[in-house]
Chain A
Amino acid sequence: MSDIILERKRLPAGAEWTFEAIDQYHEQIARVAADYQLDTYPVQVEMITSEQMMDAYASVGMPVNYHHWTFGKQFLATEKQYKRGQMGLAYEIVINSDPCIAYLMEENTLTMQALVIAHAAYGHNAFFKGNYLFRTWTSPDAIVDYLIFARNYIAQCEQRHGVEAVEELLDSCHALMNLGVDRYKRPPKLSLAKETLRQEERETYLQRQVNELWRTLPGQGGNKSAKEAPRFPPEPQENILYFIEKHAPLLEPWQREIVRIVRKVAQYFFPQRQTQVMNEGWASYWHYTLLNTLYDEGLLADSFMMEFLHSHSSVMYQPNYNDPWYNGINPYALGFAMWQDIRRICEAPTDEDRAWFPDIAGGNWRETFDFAMRNFKDESFIAQFLSPRLMRQFKLFSVQDDDRKDKLAVSAIHEERGYRSLRERLSNQYNLGCREPNIQVWNVDFRGDRSLTLRYQPFNRRPLAKSAEEVMKHLARLWGFTVRLETLEADGSTSLTYECCKEKRHPRPAA
């Protein structure tokens, strides 16, 4: 009798998918996810072709985006790799929006579709909704609308001012994109209606602001007081694009708007760059758990599980440093292992775990998961939760490359005295502060030649890469006057590293 019931409930198997089958899978996955108390946005599944997947890929995973050649380049690269079979297209693209949009690709098998639903539409979705970075920095209810606004606005600008002018501006903005985010301040919420309404208002207002700034130009002999003049900005500014948008003297209102658009998009992707290990690990943990639960309930066929596990384990593979295909630590593998390990620490802690994690050892795993998912990013997540057991399992070791020494030094390995420093080093590796150069707006000589000075503070004596010279040219194009980049040396002195002179003046609109 019970066999018959189970037989009836069993979900469809086989490679071919149908909309009904996907719906059945989704229903079961949603049910189990709710049992595990995964808090998610509503799900919207969209079926697309591989070509559309490449389109989405090329425009950084967004369903709409403004036009720019760099996306064309991405597309050509993706297309070629895909056609050569070098790259299976990712199973999934999921958009941090409300409702959460998950793309399924037509070519995938039914198993893969179910896997993607569990991984993206429930795993990532819950992470987007819960994690503090995403809650603080992104507006999932408005992002798609905002991108539509951005695309239309930029298309209008292209019509009015020419494709080339807009393209040049976008090139320059893209070069500074990584420095176009507020790291500490909460950005205001996005809204299409407000955006459109306020855009014109902002335009005139901003323009007035700028005119005001340069109205204070002193007459002849003003240079005398330049030394004592207060610095502008009074505090260094980390968000260079924001600074440009608000203070670049020669930009037209539409140019400011475009700078703003690029800045907003950069801001939107900022959390993703900081939560890769956590986010992918979390989604992988949940697709693994949800599907296994369904299997335990007898809903999934063995063939389904075989295909699923095969795919799962190939994604979770961590090659060793001396393997030819080693490409750094696999974020999927590390993240998945860490979440599994946290559950183990909660449910079956060893003495070592109790010593290292007194707060969570033996605790409620589901609550611990929630706490960790909501309040951490990669850097702090690793610093907090990477256990000695995992370091042993991955056989982690760290190598120090100091250009003043002849040889590389192994600075820590997976042993008692190395755990702490190893964990700290791995955490640093995911710290944007260490990965990206620290460059801030230092001063504008607004009583003199209007030049803009940036200051670079090297981390571990690392200089700027040569590409900085090109970036400075882009910065000069945006600023309109000479731009400089100083490096703050270890002894507190500064040295001029790059200078890009520009004395081309555009006619300013009459005040």
Chain B
Amino acid sequence: MVRIIDRRFDSKKKSTVNRQRFMRRFKRQIRRAVSDAIEGRSIRDLDSGEEIAIPAKDLSEPSFQQGREGIWEQVFSGNDRFASGDQIDRPLGGEGGAGSGKASNEGESEDDFVFQLSREEFLDIFFEDLALPNLVRTQLAKLTEFKTQRAGFTSDGVPTNINVVRSLRGALGRRMALGGPLSQRVREIDREIEALREDELTNAEAIRRLREERSALLVRIEAIPFIDRFDLRYNNRVRVPKPVTQAVMFCVMDVSGSMDEEKKSTAKRFFMLLYLFLQRNYEHIEVVFIRHHTIAKEVDEDEFFHSRESGGTVVSSALRLMTDIVTERYNPGAWNIYGAQASDGDNWDNDSPICHQILDEELLALCRYFAYIEITAGEPQNLWRVYEGLAEAHPNFAMQRIESLEDIYPVFRELFKKEPA
């Protein structure tokens, strides 16, 4: 008999620690690879992990080896044409037989080391060191408020929490399990005695013995307690921290005619990134999507990212709508309010001062942070010029320009980088 040990259910993921060590060690390279990853593909895909390539030479482990020069002798198999003393041209690039063995000595042509990051790992790195700025109440109120909520039953607790129904149901089950076989035997004995009664004289001894057994059984049944300590069940309540910080993010996107497909897709990617970031890092956050051309409209997530409606440009309409929504639904006393606006900056000329005014006088006082992203390849547009004055007067206003897809990630990091505590 051989010893076969079934290890299939042993702890898996033995390599997890080593994997983490690897990640930690090559964090810099991985982060670079991750920021490369958002170029050229939809940010939606980021949600599902990512294949990462980092240069193999960065993670090679050196050892003493012989170089290629000098005399090398190698034996090959399958001779089909050579005779001793033949001269062969040196093969180029290790092709064919003779060069291949030696090429590996210095590992000149190493490919990138490619591996799969899980979604968690990927997003961890992606959003590392980012946070919503000026999020006030989280820090203060984080630990103070709890609410209790039910979490099933336990076998341990204080008497006030005893759940009577559960406890008695348990006791009943236990009594049936322990006493059932005994009662059954008692009924059997009763039947046997009944049968033996037919001839009471000859069976007197047997009847006496059965009666004795019966009374012993009754004693045992009697001894089963009606309720026992381990029948008791207690209502279980756990305290969970109650989030008191409430935050809402307004995503304002310009979909006017001047926003061509490319700009729109850049804006969408920026917002997808933002959306993913919020979803991931903040459990309780609301997002309000506003699209605008000449008129602004509050839309749901799907419509925000995928609708194709378009028109002229009146930016102030969106800001006006945002102010209205804030007044109506989000009391600035109870909510942290954020805004992110993306546009090509090509606003109707007379409208830009109105935008300035709305932000300056109303919105920025309500918001913790408002970011403006202008998506243009060339000169800053009129909205940018109008907004420039705002940044100085309001520290909670930031503006950045995105010229091409590659800028999205750096700009995003710039806008949401964690401030030193």
Contacts and interface: CB of A to CB of B under 8 A. Distances in A.
A27 B62 CA distance: 46
B62 A474 contact: yes
Interface string B183-226: 00000000000000000000000000000000000000000000
A397 B61 contact: no
B52 to A, nearest CB: 10
B64 A178 contact: yes
Contact of A426 (B10, B19, B21, B75): B75
Given A399-B73, A463-B69, A417 B84 contact: yes
B116 A80 contact: yes
A415 B256 CA distance: 83
B26 to A, nearest CB: 8
Contacts of B85: 409-410
Contacts of A468: 62, 64-65
Contacts of B87: 407-410
A320 B78 contact: yes
A38 to B, nearest CB: 15
A209 B259 CA distance: 77
Which of A22, A69, A468 counts the most B-chain CB atoms under 10 A from its CB? A69
Contacts of A414: 79
B21 A72 contact: yes
A471 B18 contact: no
Interface stretch (A219-227, A230-238, A322-330, A355-363): A322-330
Interface residue range, chain A: 35 or more
Given A73-B113, A403-B69, A409-B88, A175 B76 contact: no
Nearest to A101: B5
B355 to A, nearest CB: 50
Interface in A400-419: 400-403, 406-415, 417-418
B309 to A, nearest CB: 43
A8 interface: no
B97 interface: yes
A465 interface: yes
Interface in B1-43: 1-8, 10, 12-15, 17-26
Interface stretch (A48-56, A127-135, A246-254, A345-353): A48-56
A459 interface: yes
A464 B64 contact: yes
Contact of B70 (A327, A412, A462, A474): A462
B4 A398 contact: no
Given A395-B77, A409-B85, A69 B62 contact: no
A403 B23 CA distance: 41
B7 A52 contact: yes
B66 interface: yes
A80 B50 CA distance: 13
Interface residues of B, number: 67
B297 interface: no
B71 A398 contact: no
Contact of A458 (B19, B70, B82): B70
Contacts of B105: 465
B328 interface: no
A428 B75 CA distance: 10
Interface string B81-117: 0111111111000001111111001100000011110
Contacts of B4: 19, 22-23, 26, 45-47
Residue in B18, B22, B59, B113 with the greatest tally of chain A CB atoms within 10 Å: B18
A483 interface: no
Interface string B42-68: 000000000000000001111111111
Contact of A422 (B20, B65, B75, B82): B75
B72 A178 contact: no
A436 interface: yes
Question: Interface centre among A171, A322, A414, by most B CB within 10 Å?
Answer: A322
Contacts of A322: 78, 80, 96-97
B86 A410 contact: yes
A317 to B, nearest CB: 11
A474 B82 CA distance: 45
A45 B63 CA distance: 35
Contacts of B67: 462-466
B74 interface: yes
Contacts of A320: 77-78, 80
Contacts of B22: 69-70, 72-73, 76
Contacts of B2: 22-23, 26-27, 30, 43-45
B342 to A, nearest CB: 37
A417 B85 CA distance: 12
B73 A425 contact: yes
Contact of B61 (A174, A396, A417): A174
Interface in A151-188: 163, 167, 171, 174-179
Contacts of B99: 401
A328 B77 CA distance: 8
B115 A80 contact: yes
Contact of A71 (B15, B76, B84, B115): B15
A394 B80 CA distance: 11
A318 B78 CA distance: 9
A30 B5 CA distance: 18
A467 interface: yes
A311 interface: no
Given A77-B113, A401-B98, A395 B79 contact: yes
Interface string B361-390: 000000000000000000000000000000
A39 to B, nearest CB: 17
Contacts of A464: 64-67
Contacts of B86: 409-410
Contacts of A106: 8
B63 A72 contact: no
A67 interface: yes
Given A68-B21, A179-B64, A48 B15 contact: no
Nearest to A155: B17
B81 to A, nearest CB: 9
A46 B74 CA distance: 40
A482 to B, nearest CB: 18
A459 B66 contact: yes
A468 B20 CA distance: 28
Contact of A460 (B1, B7, B60, B70): B70
A428 B74 CA distance: 9
Contacts of B66: 435-437, 458-459, 462-465
Contacts of B90: 401, 406-408
B334 to A, nearest CB: 44
Interface in A28-86: 30, 42-49, 51-52, 54-55, 58-59, 67-73, 75-77, 79-80, 83
A99 interface: yes
A69 B77 contact: no
Contact of B78 (A72, A163, A323): A323
13 contacts: A45-B2, A68-B18, A69-B24, A80-B116, A395-B78, A401-B102, A403-B68, A403-B70, A406-B90, A408-B88, A409-B85, A410-B86, A460-B70
Interface of B: 1-8, 10, 12-15, 17-26, 59-80, 82-90, 96-102, 105-106, 113-116
Given A323-B78, A467-B60, 13 more contacts: A46-B7, A318-B78, A320-B78, A320-B80, A322-B96, A327-B100, A397-B75, A398-B75, A408-B89, A410-B88, A429-B73, A437-B64, A466-B67
The 3 closest A-B pairs by CB, nearest first: A320-B78, A72-B22, A462-B70
